Amino acid sequence: MPATNIVILNFFKRATRKITSAAKNVFGFAGNIFRATSHDLESIEAALYRADFGRDTTQRILVAIKQSCKSDKELYCKKISEIAKQVLRTELEGAEGTFVATGVPEVICLVGVNGVGKTTTAAKLAHAFQKNGNEVLLGACDTFRAAANEQINIWAQRTGIDIVSSQHGADAAAVAYDALSATMARKKKILLLDTAGRMHTKSQLLDELAKLRRIILKKIPESQLHAWLIVDANNGSNSIAQAKAFNETFNLDGIIITKLDGTSRGGALAGIYQELKLPIFYVGVGEQLDDLLPFSITNYTDALFSDG
Ligand SMILES: Nc1nc2c(ncn2[C@@H]2O[C@H](COP(=O)(O)OP(=O)(O)OP(=O)(O)O)[C@@H](O)[C@H]2O)c(=O)[nH]1
Ligand SMILES: [Mg+2]
């Protein structure tokens, strides 16, 4: 079957407003520093580190600013913002993820450490896919946390999306298998699996994910199984270690960054991409169903370096 782009979500009107407000937290202060001290590289450097840009990106931005300073002694905040924006855009080249379906059903497994927003993102994605005309089923594979089942079932009810869940303590891989069987029987296009939060340092918990993966691959080809790491923007560069550990277990093929609406560390996104080179499909910008935006380099960098 030829590859069909099944996800073209047009959220851009909301994107600009939402990410701009996220960016005020991230870079409101940096914008001010740029404005007030246009030649004070130390302040600019400190601001970049505070926003969690990490050493490499920070240094590349500083080098670019210094080079421009040589030829232009009267750099204004706006110009510094433009230089930083340009560096960041280059760093993020290729980071915009586009989800392409190679067959039916596609299975997307959401993984990540505790509390990053997996369940909320599962609901948001299900809602967005469904709105786009793709029939979805939710699989409640967090059988570990007592209230998890109830939480995702409430989302399923609110969105009117089919769900397969089991008892607290059940085998998560068995739930995934049942959910996949139901997806096929009901001819749904996408199965979204919510999984339990697990520390990336606990190999036993990661082994459970490996089992889930093996079970799914008994029924569908590898090209139809996706694993997206959910990363909380507030975790900053710690997410890189998480991503590496999850990647070893589950061959990650994408990332979603949540909580960009309330973070002062949004700069870590660049470092995460540099390190992993995994496409960023969406960003979460709030707790409601529609607070999920396709990742856009232009919107993100504009917002980070806006002086508003
Ligand atoms: N502000 C904001 N809050 C979010 C976002 N995504 C999720 N949350 C909130 O983060 C908290 C945790 O979200 P969950 O979806 O339960 O996270 P989880 O990864 O499933 O948690 P565990 O299953 O316990 O590992 C909830 O209060 C969500 O409403 C986001 O993009 N922005
Ligand atoms: Mg959860």
Ligand 1 center from residue 81 Cα (angstroms): 31
Amino acid at 183: T
Ligand 2 center from residue 291 Cα (angstroms): 17
Q: Whose CA is nearest to atom 14 of ligand 1?
A: 117
Answer whether residue 23 shows pLDDT above 60.
no
Q: Highest mean pLDDT: which of 7-16, 22-31, 105-114?
A: 105-114
Counting ligands in written order, the one closest to the CA of 229 is 1
Counting ligands in written order, the one closest to the CA of 230 is 1
Minimum-distance ligand 1 atom for the alpha carbon of 120: 15
Q: Cα angle at 17 between 231 and 15, to 5 degrees?
A: 50
Answer whether residue 75 shows pLDDT above 70.
no
Judge if the upstream peptide bond of residue 105 is cis by omega within 30 degrees of 0.
yes
Confirm or reject: Cβ of 122 under 6 Å from ligand 1: no
Q: What is the pTM of this model?
A: 0.88
CB 194 within 8 A of CB 140: yes
Ligand 2 center from residue 170 Cα (angstroms): 15
Ligand 1 center from residue 145 Cα (angstroms): 14
**Structural element, H or E, at residue 173:** helix 172-185
Amino acid at 106: E
Chain segment 177-210, per-residue pLDDT in tens: 999 999 999 999 999 999 999 887 888 888 899 9
Q: How far apart are CA 23 and CA 17, in angstroms?
A: 10
Q: Where are the alpha helices (DSSP H) in 37-76?
A: 41-50, 54-71
Token look-up 């600013």 returns 65
pLDDT bracket for residue 148 (50, 70, 90): very high
Token look-up 């790491």 returns 229
Chain segment 291-301, per-residue pLDDT in tens: 999 999 988 88
Nearest CA to 274 among 94, 139, 140?
A: 94
SS in 3 state form for 178-194? HHHHHHHHCCCCEEEEE
Minimum-distance ligand 1 atom for the alpha carbon of 291: 31
Count Cα atoms within 13 angstroms, Cβ side, for 234. Answer: 12
